[in-house]
Structure 1
Amino acid sequence: MVFGMFMAILDIQIVSASLAEIQAGLSASSDEISWVQTSYLIAEVIMIPLSGTLSRVLSTRWMFVIASGGFTLMSFMCATSTSIEEMIVWRALQGFIGGGMIPTVFASAFTIFPPEKRPVISPIIGLVATLAPTVGPTIGGYLTDLFSWHWLFLVNIVPGIFVTISTYLLVDFDEPDWSLFKTFDWAGLGFMAVFLGSLEFVLEEGPINDWFQDELVLILTVTCVATAIGFFYRVLTAKYPIVDLRAFSDRNFMAGSAFSFVMGIGLYGLTYLYPVYLGRVRGYSSLQIGETMFVSGACMFLMAPVAGILSRKLDPRVMMAIGFASFAFGTWLITGLTKDWDFWELFVPQIFRGVGLMICMVPINNIALGTLPPERIKNASGLYNLTRNLGGAVGLALINTILNDRTDLHLQRLRESVNWARSSAVETLNTMTMGFQSLGSDAGQAALKTISNMVRREALVMSFADVFLLLTFLFLALILALPFIRKPRAAPAGGGGGH
């Protein structure tokens, strides 16, 4: 089941590193290609909270068999796509069906295993949930470089069949409850689907289209607010709501979910920022970006057993403080970013990021889900995983908006200082014009264009440094919030295999 979850999470990042190749292969426009990601994320974010109800209706075994089997089939359909429209449909179905695997794994782990086994189980799940987004660009880069973009999807098929069959044969610890289907809240599902779907769309497309200047973003924001009101009304008044928000009345679950939300910003935000810097500023290929990003993944892999040992010996709040401090130090190191930074300059910050992620993830999982009674875990797991995904979506929207705004600001300031009154600017322009003499009368124009590109690049690098500084403050603020979490009590005993 953990392997199935790895595939579902990996599929977001593995594709993001190679969108340009898919765009070329399907003759899609730059506006259309972003929907390969957006459709998957929107569909997945709807399924994640719904999975708690579905796994109670169908049983964990059948829920997971359908999710992994459907995900595998849709991966094959994505690989056979011949147009961008086909690809978007298959990607949405892949995200929706596959989204059920992620929370089901978290719920199963905290149901099957007793508390004393959790120091072993929690790091495994934490490693998979954080390693998949980190190594995604590396694997995606290799596959498209060695074969073609089709292999981004074909690579899921053999593991997918293995996961589906082995889940059917090996997983059997709860019974389906078909009576829940009679009381299924269809109105609640409708409100939730439109609310989460439009929210994800607004967060994805808002920064690119100047937020409310774009008519579609504005319409969907209004839709999001209206359906959110409808959704929360249904959830709080229906006898059998589509998701049970009572889990948030548990202080530790609420705190764990809040930290998970910010973890999403750190996890997905940094997985996005590094490749954008390496691609736009350094001009790296997807394979080179993947190789540079691999450092974090390797650190997380090596830290997983250490995190398990620490979770036995340390107060989870102390572990989280160490993890967030490591995160903050890693992002602070990058605030000195220049246009020349490459693998070795990014090496140490990535080590701190990988170590921080792993040390944070294990205690956050335990605080959120480790103290809930078994009957509430399925539903709570969906909500908990949703907070991490929404954190990622909100984080990316904020990061893109800040990047755009700060780049414009730095451009303005740099343009004011690079003018005819500055002797160094005039000297650089003259030297460049001399260098372009072979172009004849166009030499001056080419030199001006080169200087303009240099100014734009510097503005972009400065805005990256600003974002890293903001993330540093965010992680430091989390350390200050830790004293408000109660130390988790021992959890109620989970059901053994016989449940």
Structure 2
Amino acid sequence: MAETANPAAGVASTAPADEAMDPRKLIAFFAMVLGMFMSILDIQIVSASLSEIQAGLSAGSDEIAWVQTSYLIAEVIMIPLSGTLARIVSTRYLFAFSAAGFTAASALAATATNIDQMIVYRAIQGFIGGGMIPSVFAAAFTIFPPSKRNIVSPIIGLIATLAPTIGPTVGGYLSNAFSWHWLFLVNIVPGIIVTIVTYNFIDFDKPDLKLFKRFDWWGLAAMAIFLGALEYVLEEGNANGWFNDEMIMLAAIASAIGCIIFFYRAFTVDFPVVDLTAFANRNFTFGSIFSFVMGIGLYGLTYIYPVYLSAIRGYDALMIGETMFVSGLAMFMTAPIAGRLASLLDLRLMMAIGFVSFAAGTYLMTGITADWDFWELFIPQILRGFGLMMCMVPINNIALGTLSPQKIRGASGLFNLTRNLGGAVGLAIINTILTTRQDVHYQRLREGVEWGKPAAENMLTDLTNKFNALGMDGPTIAIKKMVGMVTQQAVVMSFSDVFLLLTVLFSLMILGVSFIDKPAPQGSASGGGGH
């Protein structure tokens, strides 16, 4: 494969013998990491506080979900586009503009007085902020020599996984301690710092404005329709009955047409809006597939835990955040370990360990009951956090570490897109399973509490007598209580089904690791070498 012959030569050759780090590049990189953290954090920061935003803006229950959906749709369009924009205007101008625009949009979101304004501001925030994410991955694999990747890769892996995981924690704390406005105001000071530092310190590449004349506007429009409509279908499909809904059907058709046009343009124009040639690299292709699956695990579990804690345990936003923090802490503790192991172990073995840990965590959750609390969730969350970091570091290195510097800018956008799309697909599947399996379990459980079943009749009699003694309408309340208990049990059993499916998925990924070519060691200057 042409891309793996000497992929890091252009970078490694510029490093001195002791490979000392340029302080300006380090400052620029950490400012970029902070920008990426804000952008990814804002995907989930509103998730635990949607009810507060809904009340503050007097929004309907069908409208409030768009606070998150609009952000995701806009971001998923910008992420693959960012590589091409960086080639045209340079990383410096793209990142500084993205940071400034994201900060301004955050300020606007905090001033929103109705749901329509909030949706528009969140879309702007997601679109502009999406330009920061792939730039960090590209910078990590182009400005640093291969021997330093075991330091920088855990950093970006930690931020990419930690930010959405602690999003509900941060959001729950801010809305509980202050108000929902602070979910957005918290970005302003860091955003200004990131804008100033990146504008003054990034000097990785030069703009090539002549490329504007060759820019594929039709390709951009097709990609926006393809990805935007696809994200809409995945986000809203389950709630609207999938293809029984006219808008979902139209969006699916628009996405399919946009997909065909986009891929046609990508393979026929001389300067496509997204460079797909990185997929010729076997390891990048498999790395992207694993990134897609990690997106399912990352965003899917960040979603399902709060749903369980809210619906079954009755937790508020702050309590959910405190419970979810365990995974974030496990990731933080594992990051330096993963970085060290990346130079000692075969990266494929690291990934296998990570997937085993992830599968073990979800398998433990298949025994979930309505009584599970912080401590029952403790070990599964640690296994999840450990597994995420053990997978993300080698996946990043395998996917991007064997590409030439010229390919990495475009490839990092595609790589990050696969993770986001994995999250969207995962959420759609999880919500569909929760809905359909809940109905199945409810019907089965209901058969066990029909008349003529001694246990059901005894419970109904006991409840009736209890509420009659309190001077209440015993029979009516007893039946409602029984229905509520059956419904709750059906919901819990549907959660167990989701965790079982995720266990099977991550177990299969352990086998999938064998399809990857053996990567070169990451601890030397030849770390990006061929297989």
Identify whether the pair has TM-score above 0.5, normalized to the shorter chain: yes
Residue 262 of structure 2: which of 224, 231, 235 is its match? Answer: 231
Equivalences for 1:87-106 in 2 at 5 Å? Answer: 87-106=118-137
Residue 21 of structure 1: which of 37, 46, 52 is its match? Answer: 52
Q: CA deviation at 1:490?
A: 6.7
Equivalences for 1:84-483 in 2 at 5 Å? Answer: 84-437=115-468, 440=471, 442-483=473-514
C-alpha distance in 2 between matches for 1:164 and 1:408? 50
Name 1:497's counterpart in structure 2.
none
**3-state SS of paired residue (1:430):** helix
Q: CA deviation at 1:440?
A: 5.0
Give, as a single letter, the amino acid of the residue that structure 1 aligns with 2:325: F
- Asked if 2 retains the 8 angstrom alpha-carbon contact of 1:278 and 1:289, the reply is yes
Question: After superposition, what is the alpha-carbon deviation per residue over 1:432-473, rounded to whole angstroms, capped at 9, x for unaligned?
Answer: 112222675732111111110110000000010011011001
C-alpha distance in 2 between matches for 1:302 and 1:45? 30
Name 1:78's counterpart in structure 2.
109
* 2:109 paired with 1:59: no
Question: After superposition, what is the alpha-carbon deviation per residue over 1:26-45, rounded to whole angstroms, capped at 9, x for unaligned?
Answer: 00001000110110000000
C-alpha distance in 2 between matches for 1:378 and 1:441? 68
C-alpha distance in 2 between matches for 1:487 and 1:47? 32
Return the TM-score normalized by structure 2.
0.92
C-alpha distance in 2 between matches for 1:401 and 1:114? 45
- Asked if 2 retains the 8 angstrom alpha-carbon contact of 1:296 and 1:351, the reply is yes
Give, as a single letter, the amino acid of the residue that structure 1 aligns with 2:246: E
C-alpha distance in 1 between matches for 2:417 and 2:146? 24
**3-state SS of paired residue (2:320):** helix
C-alpha distance in 2 between matches for 1:216 and 1:263? 29
Q: CA deviation at 1:252?
A: 0.4
C-alpha distance in 2 between matches for 1:454 and 1:218? 36
Name 2:26's counterpart in structure 1.
none
C-alpha distance in 2 between matches for 1:469 and 1:242? 39
- Asked if 2 retains the 8 angstrom alpha-carbon contact of 1:402 and 1:467, the reply is yes
- Asked if 2 retains the 8 angstrom alpha-carbon contact of 1:115 and 1:490, the reply is no
C-alpha distance in 1 between matches for 2:255 and 2:225? 7
C-alpha distance in 2 between matches for 1:173 and 1:53? 15
Give, as a single letter, the amino acid of the residue that structure 1 aligns with 2:216: D
C-alpha distance in 1 between matches for 2:169 and 2:465? 42
Size of the aligned set, in residue pairs, is 494
- Asked if 1 retains the 8 angstrom alpha-carbon contact of 2:359 and 2:502, the reply is yes
Name 1:69's counterpart in structure 2.
100
Q: What stretches of structure 2 of length at least 5 have no aligned partner? A: 1-31, 527-531
Runs of 4+ in structure 1 off by over 6 angstroms are 490-494
Question: After superposition, what is the alpha-carbon deviation per residue over 1:6-64, rounded to whole angstroms, capped at 9, x for unaligned?
Answer: 00000011111100000000000010001101100000000000000001111101100
C-alpha distance in 2 between matches for 1:112 and 1:306? 23
C-alpha distance in 1 between matches for 2:284 and 2:330? 28
C-alpha distance in 2 between matches for 1:21 and 1:435? 37
Q: CA deviation at 1:262?
A: 0.1
- Asked if 1 retains the 8 angstrom alpha-carbon contact of 2:110 and 2:182, the reply is yes
C-alpha distance in 2 between matches for 1:76 and 1:438? 57
Name 2:19's counterpart in structure 1.
none
Go from structure 1 to structure 2 and tell me whether the alpha carbon gap of 1:20 and 1:46 turns closer, same or farther (over 3 Å shift): same
C-alpha distance in 2 between matches for 1:166 and 1:317? 37
Identical counterparts, % of pairs: 66
**3-state SS of paired residue (1:336):** coil
- Asked if 2 retains the 8 angstrom alpha-carbon contact of 1:371 and 1:490, the reply is no
C-alpha distance in 1 between matches for 2:470 and 2:260? 63
**3-state SS of paired residue (2:142):** helix
**3-state SS of paired residue (1:31):** coil
Name 1:43's counterpart in structure 2.
74
Return the TM-score normalized by structure 1.
0.98
C-alpha distance in 2 between matches for 1:323 and 1:171? 34
Question: After superposition, what is the alpha-carbon deviation per residue over 1:415-439, rounded to whole angstroms, capped at 9, x for unaligned?
Answer: 1111111111111111111222267
C-alpha distance in 1 between matches for 2:173 and 2:110? 17
C-alpha distance in 1 between matches for 2:525 and 2:406? 11
**3-state SS of paired residue (2:473):** helix
Give, as a single letter, the amino acid of the residue that structure 2 aligns with 1:5: M
C-alpha distance in 2 between matches for 1:350 and 1:293? 8
**3-state SS of paired residue (1:240):** coil
C-alpha distance in 2 between matches for 1:468 and 1:490? 35
Q: What stretches of structure 1 of length at least 5 have no aligned partner? A: 495-499
Question: After superposition, what is the alpha-carbon deviation per residue over 1:159-211, rounded to whole angstroms, capped at 9, x for unaligned?
Answer: 10011111111111210010111100000000000000000000000011110
Q: CA deviation at 1:218?
A: 0.7
Give, as a single letter, the amino acid of the residue that structure 2 aligns with 1:38: T
C-alpha distance in 1 between matches for 2:148 and 2:380? 32
- Asked if 2 retains the 8 angstrom alpha-carbon contact of 1:265 and 1:396, the reply is yes
Q: What is the Cα-based RMSD across aligned positions, in Å?
A: 1.2
Greater helix content: 1
C-alpha distance in 2 between matches for 1:239 and 1:172? 27
